[in-house]
Amino acid sequence: MKPKERQLKIADIIRKEGQATVDQLVDIFKSSPETIRRDLSALVSSGKVQKIHGGAKCTNIQGEGRFQLRLRKNVSAKRVIAERAVRLISEGDTLFVNAGSTTVIFAEELMKIANLTVVTNSVDIAKILGSSTNGTKVYLLGGEYSQDNHQTVGAMVIAQLQQFYAQHVILPIGYIHSTVGVTDFNAADVSVSQAMLAQSENSILLADSSKFEQIAPFVVGGLDQFDQFICEKAPEGELSKALADNNVEVLS
The ranges assigned to domains in the chain are: 3-58, 67-251
Cα distance between residue 206 and residue 175, in whole Å: 10
pLDDT at 120: 98
CATH number of 67-251: 3.40.50.1360
Question: Do 3-58 and 67-251 show the same overall fold?
Answer: no
Q: Which CATH number fits domain 3-58: 3.40.50.1980, 1.10.10.10, 3.40.470.10, 3.30.530.20?
A: 1.10.10.10
pLDDT at 171: 98
pLDDT at 42: 86
- pLDDT tens for each residue of 49-92: 888 999 998 875 444 446 666 666 788 899 999 999 999 999 99
pLDDT at 69: 67
Query: pLDDT below 50 — which residues of the chain?
Result: 61-65
pLDDT at 251: 97
CB under 8 Å to 32, separation ≥6 — which residues? 26
pLDDT at 138: 98
Q: Where are the beta strands (DSSP E) in 15-88?
A: 19-21, 49-52, 55-58
The answer to whether the beta carbons of residues 40 and 10 sit under 8 Å apart is yes
Query: Nearest to residue 108, comparing CAs of 6, 8, 3, 1?
Result: 8
pLDDT at 8: 85
